[in-house]
Amino acid sequence: ALPIYLRVGLSDAQHPDISIIDNVLHFKAQGHGAKGENTYEFNLEFLEPVKPKLAYKLTERQITITVKKDDSVWWSRLTKQEKRPVFLAPDFDRWLEESDAEMELKAKEEERINKVRVESRLRKDPFANLKKGYLFMYNLVQFLGFSWIFVNMTVRLLIFGKDSFYDTFNTMADMMYFCQILAVLEIINPLLGFVKTGVLPAVIQVCGRNLILFVIFGSLEEMQNRAVVFFVFYIWSSIEIFRYPFYMLSCIDTEWKLLTWLRYSIWIPLYPLGGLAEAVAVIQSIPVFSKNEKFSISLPHPLNFSIRLSIFLQIYVVMIFFGLFINIRHLYKQRRRRIGPGKRKMH
């Protein structure tokens, strides 16, 4: 049956209360209408039975209500009362005569049949369940790894206080090495089509973190006892203990609303703080690399100059904030699609 569309011209509507009880539509909402800013309400008793479940969508200028008929029959009018209410007018943009409605129903049925035929011809991916299982296990292992880091760092902080800042690397480095080596799969997965996320944000995050972990912290003993290691590790693990379980549950088509909100909100304070902590780590390492000339490359005659890692790191400090901007913009777009103010729920 073709649905019934009702459009209520109410701007900036708030607190809508719309329901169908005993075949009567009850509407109440606050907004800007014919009488200015006010509370508007009305009731409509339909001519024929309709389904009690309705859907509505709010925009800045109106509320669109969709009601489904119980039977595919043509109605001579909308309401049970013969006289049309003064506030009710036909929406000629959606108006259909009986013959038009029959043709549209027929067209929709043909479209549905054709869609079923096309889908039946499409070959199903025989490895779909295997891919889901692999992604589930990957996210589970990463969640357990970063949870171990986060819990241990929290417990040590509570017991030892600030003293725990200075031996973070010695106690947590092995697990962080494991997690960040495994994270290289986050670049490979989208390249193989296992996930639909972009490759660039994954490359920026994984390569940036591994540079900090393996080159700056791992290769310099002078950096391993500094407090900045604590803040970098703690921020990384704080982000991942929400990100990985969200993706893990997505593999089995399960969603927890609180976890979804945390996954798309926790980055707002933590990503800028993480970028700042990484930048501090790079800045603190520059004098050390300048002194020991580690990873520097000396070019032979006639070039006679050296490519110093310390020079690259000075440029990389700027690149950290550029990469941070790209990732934040990517996450902001994801957040708007999932829980942003532009996303209205259908009830």
The residues that are catalytic are 271, 278
Structure tokens, 80: 């049970």
3-state secondary structure 262-275: HHCCCHHHHHHHHH
- For residue 41, the SS3 value is strand
Distances (CA, A) of 336 to 293, 329, 330, 341: 46, 11, 10, 7
What is the residue type of 81? Q
- For residue 42, the SS3 value is strand
Structure tokens, 199: 């490759």
Distances (CA, A) of 196 to 129, 202, 329: 16, 12, 17
Q: In the chain, helix, strand, coil percent, each to 5?
A: 55, 15, 30
Residue closest to 295 by CA, chosen among 323, 316, 321: 316
Place of tokens 């901007």: 325
